[in-house]
């Protein structure tokens, strides 16, 4: 069973399934690619010994795939999913920002930010760490520190201004 040949033969079925069953047809290319992936996954599950015609089986799989497509949101594909012999989707991606200068600059910036954080008073550093790094809400943090949310917001804004001045004074 040659998957590429079957996929080519099933192409009109994918298109008609999109037109019949997909609720949003605005992303036709995405829907087509998702349908092709569904066909490939279905081919792996197909059991010829059960006596069901493969194209009928694929037609039903596509029908239910597109009917359920909107229900669960867009289907996600893992970057670790194999797409060929020994090749995963992640292997095909290129990192456009892996320029050595960018890496050195980013490292320098993070060192400068760390130094700027260390120069803050203990409570100021705690507020920034908790609200930005640990993503705690201002309400939760204000209760812990015994101040109003508004006071904490103003204080955080002043601390961020102070950090900004320190980092961008050059």
DSSP 105-150: HHHHHHHHHHHHHHTS-HHHHHHHIIIIIS---HHHHHHHHTS-HH
Q: What is the DSSP letter of 102?
A: H
Instruction: Provide the percentage of residues in the chain whose pLDDT is more than 70.
Output: 84
Compute how many other C-beta atoms are within 10 angstroms of the C-beta atom of residue 120.
Answer: 17
Span 41-64, mean pLDDT? 87
Mean pLDDT, all residues of the chain? 82
Give me the DSSP letters along 8-76: HHHHHHHHHHHHHH-S--TTHHHHHHHHHHHHHHHHHH--GGG---HHHHHHHHHHHHHHHHTTT-SPP
Query: Could you tell me the fold of the domain covering 100-167?
Result: Arc Repressor Mutant, subunit A (1.10.10)
- 8 A C-beta contact, residue 110 and residue 118: no
User: Using an 8 Å Cβ cutoff, are 25 and 65 in contact?
Assistant: no
Place 100 in a pLDDT band, splitting at 50, 70 and 90: low
The whole-model pTM stands at: 0.40
Beta bridge pairs of residue 87: 84
CA distance 41 to 83: 11
Residue 146 has pLDDT above 90, yes or no: yes
Tell the residue number behind the tokens 């795939």, with chain if given.
65
Q: How far is CA 145 from the centre of its chain?
A: 35
Backbone angles phi, psi at 82, to 5 degrees: -70, 140
d(CA 36, CA 42): 10
The residue ranges of every structural domain in the chain are 3-92, 100-167
- pLDDT tens profile 11-38: 898 888 888 877 776 677 888 888 889 8
């Amino acid at each position: 069973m040659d998957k590429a040949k079957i996929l080519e033969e099933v192409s009109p079925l994918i298109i008609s399934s999109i037109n019949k069953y997909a609720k949003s047809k605005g992303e036709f290319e995405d829907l087509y690619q998702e349908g092709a992936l569904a066909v490939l996954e279905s081919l792996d599950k197909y059991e010829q010994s059960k006596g069901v015609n493969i194209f009928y089986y694929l037609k039903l799989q596509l029908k239910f795939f597109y009917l359920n497509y909107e229900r669960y949101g867009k289907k996600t594909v893992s970057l670790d999913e194999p797409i060929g012999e020994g090749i995963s989707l992640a292997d095909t991606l290129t990192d456009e920002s892996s320029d050595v200068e960018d890496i050195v600059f980013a490292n320098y910036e993070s060192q400068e930010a760390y130094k700027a954080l260390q120069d803050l008073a203990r409570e100021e550093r705690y507020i920034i760490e908790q609200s930005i790094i640990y993503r705690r809400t201002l309400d939760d943090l204000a209760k812990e520190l015994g101040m109003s949310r508004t006071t904490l917001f103003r204080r955080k804004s002043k601390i961020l201004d102070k950090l900004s001045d320190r980092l961008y004074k050059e």
